[in-house]
Amino acid sequence: MTTEHEHCYVVDGKLALPYQYLAGRVGSKFIVSLRDKKQILGVKCEKCGIVFVPPRQTCEKCLADLTKSWVELSDKGEVTNFTVVRKDDKHHPRKAPFVIALVKLEGADTPMAHIVEGIAPEKVAIGMKVKAVFAKTPTNTILDIDHFEPI
């Protein structure tokens, strides 16, 4: 087959639609607690012995109902992995470069993705201790923790 490019061109377009996301009872309790009490909540599966953060309605392994198994967590944790975002995009929460890290809070078994600030990206390291800095104005999202910063 020959490759012919005459008449072939690329047209700029858009895909734009309205959406809404519903956090549900479990997710809403988590966000409202962050926003109003500066308190990070998780849930614990007694059977599997796992503390999940952010919380979820059921244990992904045994499908047990976790809606009554709330645990309060520390606002401190450690970086278990991270990446440096170096390209700007309108959907990103910060201007590049910035650090997205997996932060495992004290008492949690699952790490949570969040922004790490207050340190040069090249100095971020796995194992680093960090602390949550809560947002001054509510966002009704996970960004009610504004970011984590080194202790």
By the rule CB under 8 A, 15 interacts with another protein: yes
Which x/- pattern over 52-91 shows residues binding another protein (rule: CB under 8 A)? ----xxx-xxxx----------------------------
* DSSP letter for each residue of 36-78: HH--EEEEEETTTTEEESS--SB-TTT--B-TT-EEEE-SEEE
By the rule CB under 8 A, 113 interacts with another protein: no
**For residue 121, is the peptide bond before it cis, meaning its omega torsion is within 30 degrees of 0?**
no
Residue 108 in contact with residue 77, Cβ under 8 Å? Answer: yes
By the rule CB under 8 A, 19 interacts with another protein: yes
By the rule CB under 8 A, 141 interacts with another protein: yes
Q: What is the contact surface with another protein in residues (CB under 8 A)?
A: 4-29, 31-32, 56-58, 60-63, 140-141
